[in-house]
A and B are shown apart, each in its own frame.
Chain A
Amino acid sequence: MFINWALQEINLKIVYYGPGMSGKTTNLEYIHSKLDSSVAGDLVSLKTKEDRTIFFDFLQLDVGRIKGKRPKFNLYTVPGQVFYASSRKIILKGVDGIVFVADSQKDRMDSNIETLLDLENNLSEEGMDIKVFPWVIQYNKRDLTGIESIDILQGELNRYKVPYFESVAVNGDGVFNTLKAIINSVILKAQKEL
């Protein structure tokens, strides 16, 4: 969280985290495509030729003045592929809230679990504790066949009972619900601490 008292601006960093190909970049692309350019700035994607995120995606949301204050949300995605571990650590620095984008497909369960552990470790290395940190889970790709039930996903991934959402990011289902939830969690936390 960064507050500029002269400009009455409050900046919050939200990171989309999750295994490779789970749909993190797709979330940002959808948000960017639907919002007015006065709200969502440029979407910057550092990616490979094959459209895999190599470092991060970045999108800033500026919802304008609210009661004289100007909240801005800096949305980032991390690269999900295992060997980009150091990039994920870099992007997590200064994070205020996390959206964990899980892939609902049965054969991606192990990757979901591994990536969640990776997140927990990276947060604790930075001195942050996932148990009290604002985060939400998005179960993506609900449109596909061969997906795990929500009960099973919840049992495997949502030990800390954080808010969760079902989504089909490619057509936008659940994308804004997820975003609104993480914004509210982050703001609520900021409120407690100011």
Chain B
Amino acid sequence: MPDSIRLEVTRYRPDTDSEPQRQEYDVPLRKEWTVLDGLNHVKNEVDTTLSFRWSCRMGICGSCGMNVDGEPKLTCATFLTDYAPGPVRVEPLANFPVVRDLVVDLFDFMERLPRVKPWIIRDDDVTEVDGEYLQTPEELDAYKQFSMCINCMLCYSACPVYGLDPTFIGPAAIALAERYDLDSRDHGARERLDVLIEHEGVWGCTFVGECTRVCPKHVDPAGAIQRYKLKAAKESVKAFLLPRGTR
């Protein structure tokens, strides 16, 4: 195994650069080092001006997503040795505007999240908490997969629909809506549907399926979207066939 590997890192400083550039750094190649460890080596020892997000270094906070050799990855869970002998291209997540170096702008997603109402909506208005809402392990299983999303944005970066049309509400947000719809404690499906059948909602998706492939937490957002389409289609057929009151 060679003892170093080259990182080709995208740099962009909004105050001085008109467009992103590429800079190369050689970092030690160690068995236990992730791409993030390589970047931190650069930051600490070589070039202190390199900027990127990270925090938990254990694949759970969702901060460190970047495109590694063109694929969206959590850099804290992607090992340098898998790219040996290199070089490794490290770029900001695709499809998002670049703020600085490897940092992208998540404004769109953060602004969109509340629109799918990702919280429990109840018909009854319980304000006093006494006793839990019962939920069997099977009922929990029904939505568990969709509750695993860490908002890492890898799926948005892999989605060509989002790349072409940034108003598309996107995979993770729809998966989250599905997560609450499937929760046995929730009664908000109707309200969420109203949002998701809009133009930028589920119908934007053409089922490329890349979101599911790149998701590090096996959330299967593509599946969530297709199920939503089915639900939306059923609703519109019902709306068409049945008189208002009986719906």
The yes or no verdict on A and B being binding partners is no
Interface set of A (CB-CB < 8 Å, partner B): none
